Amino acid sequence: MPGLTLQTVVRVNPETAVQRVGGRYMAATPDDRLHTFEANDGSVSEVGERIIELVDGQRTLGAIVEALVEEFEVSREVAEQDTTQFVEMLLGKQVLTLD
């Protein structure tokens, strides 16, 4: 998504419901789809779910990356790239929206 920078603030789409169900986050989007946040092997993505927890409509992507670098064993470069890609995917699925 052009223009997505570390200064970008994202929030949960107001038409999307995100809640924890059975120990994992699920999102019901305006197109009546359900989304879970999984790793490539189908297990719960702790990082993906943490990003969802950190998206509050006030934090920048940079602040989210900073929290992930502090909480997980990941380099800043990898965290920036992966977080940006994950947020772009969630924007496309209507889970998140730009402020």
Q: Which residue is associated with the tokens 């169900």? A: 21
What pLDDT is recorded for position 73?
Answer: 94
Give the number of other Cβ atoms within 10 Å of residue 14's Cβ.
9
Provide the residue range defining the domain that includes 51: 10-94
> What are the tens digits of pLDDT across the range 15-38?
999 999 988 999 999 999 999 988
Residue 70 lies in a domain: yes
Residue 3 lies in a domain: no
Give the number of other Cβ atoms within 10 Å of residue 52's Cβ.
20
Question: Taking the chain (99 residues) in consecutive chunks of 10 residues, what is each chunk's mean pLDDT?
Answer: 84 96 93 89 87 96 97 96 94 92
Residue 2 lies in a domain: no
What pLDDT is recorded for position 98?
Answer: 92
What pLDDT is recorded for position 42?
Answer: 76
Look up the pTM and report it.
Answer: 0.90
Residue 4 lies in a domain: no
Residue 5 lies in a domain: no
Determine contact, residues 26/35, Cβ cutoff 8 Å.
yes
Q: What is the CATH number of the domain that holds 14?
A: 3.90.930.60
| Count of domains forming the chain | 1
What pLDDT is recorded for position 40?
Answer: 78
What pLDDT is recorded for position 2?
Answer: 56
What pLDDT is recorded for position 89?
Answer: 93
